[in-house]
Amino acid sequence: MINRPNNVIYHQRVFQGQPHTPLWLKGPRDRFFATIVFAGIGVGLTGAFYGAFKMIRGEK
């Protein structure tokens, strides 16, 4: 822990440098994680709506 480099300046540049990007997308891996999460939400909502429409039409 003592011999680790000080990355404060790097992280300040990353998080303060892009004024129009949301904070949750500014990190180096944040776009990857956001894509995975939004894809999962999309698949889940699609399956829920598909099942709901099948139940409305009376199919099983």
Residue 51 lies in a domain: yes
Confidence band of 59 (pLDDT split at 50, 70, 90): confident
- pLDDT at position 1 over 80: no
Q: How far apart are CA 11 and CA 33, in angstroms?
A: 18
Does 1 reside within a domain? no
Range of the domain at 35: 8-57
How many structural domains is the chain composed of? 1
- 3-state DSSP call for residue 5? coil
Task: Tell me the pTM.
Answer: 0.71
Question: Which residues neighbour 60 within 8 Å (Cβ) at sequence distance 6 or greater?
Answer: 54
Of residues 28 and 54, more confidently modeled: 54
Q: Which residue has the tokens 């129009």?
A: 20
Burial call 32-54: b when 16+ CB within 10 Å, e when fewer: eeeeeeeeeeeeeeeeeeeeeee
- Mean pLDDT value across the chain: 92
